Amino acid sequence: MKDALMKIKEQALSDIASGAEDIEALKVKYLGKKGELTAILKGMGKLTAEERPVIGQLANDVRNAIEEAIAKEQASLKEKALAKTLLEEKIDVSVPGNKKEIGSKHPLTIVLDELKDIFVGMGYEIADGPEVEYDYYNFEALNIPQDHPARDTQDTFYINDNIVLRTQTSSMQIRVMENKKPPIKIIAPGRVYRSDAVDATHSPVFHQIEGLVVDKGITMSDLKGTLETFVKRLYGDDAKIRFRPHHFPFTEPSAEVDVSCFVCKGEGCSVCKGEGWIEILGAGMVHPNVLKVCGIDPEVYSGFAFGIGLERLVMRRFDINDLRLFFENDIRFLKQF
């Protein structure tokens, strides 16, 4: 029995040291309930009373020796694994980092944000509405009935007979007045569409900012004062505006509004094409028919409206000569803002 124990010890220690077999498997093989050591100890009953403590002691020593060798081997395996991970996952803190490119605002957004700030500063709210719009809001309710010639100048994309891609943010005038009673003071920026061929000054999609104020006693002088304030905030205190009579179906009277050229201050240059003035928007007093279809009594209330074309404003601001640059998203262009 003594020999058997010594043999087990020897075999176990050499197996563990060789590292050829899985350490857990060796643990089961030698120390487990069905292991070799246990098998021997089961035969202890046959020993004499003198032999039993001696063999018992020896068996314990063998078990301790094997346990110790296993624990040692396990610790060393763990250490090796750690060293391996440390080596593989080494971080070189001197490697230059991945620089995250930070984008910049699109030039249209830069100027739109400025306009929003200016009007919000004057107490306006910002209204938002659909680009896919009913004919009713885009034309009919704006005093542009089915056969009105004004429709010809705003040809658009038809979803069906009743639904179009809006040609103007003026549709928001109706949507706002249907939902809110005066006092009303909003701007409505957004995309509009026309079936124009693409060139340096035309795009089938562009942006407008609509303005609408309705209250008791609103007059043309309120419109003028508002636009004057807006233009001075945008271009500086020496900017002037000029109203030219015009016609829009949904305003009466109507005007096109020019701003004194901010490059030559009115002297005439290439930016204003020698005129000294640059057209920036359409405006007028809200037509009584438009108030009426929205359930607002034109005998009690009056209002003004205006529509600004964003692209043109931005092109002049940054001296951009081709509208297509706004929509091509060429990084070399966008990077400059």
Could you tell me the smallest distance in angstroms from the CB atom of residue 256 to ligand DAH?
A: 8
Rounded Cα distance between 53 and 47, Å, is 10
107 contacts ligand DAH (rule: CB under 6 A): no
Identify the CA nearest to 259 among candidates 286, 284, 230, 285.
230
User: Exposed e or buried b for every residue in 204-224, given b needs 16+ CB within 10 A?
Assistant: ebbbbbbbbbbeeebeeebbb
35 contacts ligand DAH (rule: CB under 6 A): no
Query: Which residues have C-beta within 8 Å of that of residue 288, sequence separation ≥ 6?
Result: 252, 298
Region of 24-32, 89-97, 266-274, 282-290 interacting with ligand DAH (CB under 6 A): 282-290
307 contacts ligand DAH (rule: CB under 6 A): yes
Q: Which of 35, 182, 190, 284 binds ligand DAH (CB under 6 A)?
A: 284
- Looking up tokens 């078990």, which residue turns up? 63
203 contacts ligand DAH (rule: CB under 6 A): no
CB of 171 within 8 A of CB of 163? no
Could you tell me the smallest distance in angstroms from the CB atom of residue 307 to ligand DAH?
A: 2
User: Exposed e or buried b for every residue in 250-259, given b needs 16+ CB within 10 A?
Assistant: bbeebbbbbb
Question: Would you give the binding string for ligand DAH spanning residues 233-252, x where CB under 6 A is met?
Answer: ---------------x--x-
How far are the Cα atoms of 53, 58, 59, 173 from residue 48, in angstroms, in the given order? 9, 15, 16, 111
282 contacts ligand DAH (rule: CB under 6 A): yes
Pairing verdict, β 125-126 and 184-193? parallel
CB of 311 within 8 A of CB of 109? no
176 contacts ligand DAH (rule: CB under 6 A): no
Residues 207-226 close enough to bind ligand DAH by CB under 6 A: 210
Could you tell me the smallest distance in angstroms from the CB atom of residue 217 to ligand DAH?
A: 19
Could you tell me the smallest distance in angstroms from the CB atom of residue 334 to ligand DAH?
A: 27
Query: Which residues have C-beta within 8 Å of that of residue 160, sequence separation ≥ 6?
Result: none
Of the chain, the end-to-end C-alpha distance in Å amounts to 91
305 contacts ligand DAH (rule: CB under 6 A): yes
For ligand DAH, the closer of residues 156 and 260 by Cβ is 156
Q: Which of 138, 143, 170, 302 binds ligand DAH (CB under 6 A)?
A: 170
**Amino acid identity, residue 166?**
R
Could you tell me the smallest distance in angstroms from the CB atom of residue 126 to ligand DAH?
A: 16
168 contacts ligand DAH (rule: CB under 6 A): yes
Rounded to the nearest 5°, which phi and psi values hold at 278? Answer: -130, 125
Total residues contacting ligand DAH by CB under 6 A comes to 12
For ligand DAH, the closer of residues 262 and 304 by Cβ is 304
Q: What number of other Cβ atoms are within 10 A of residue 88's Cβ?
A: 7
Residues 252-271 close enough to bind ligand DAH by CB under 6 A: 254
Could you tell me the smallest distance in angstroms from the CB atom of residue 273 to ligand DAH?
A: 20
Binding site for ligand DAH (CB under 6 A): 168, 170, 210, 248, 251, 254, 282-284, 305-307
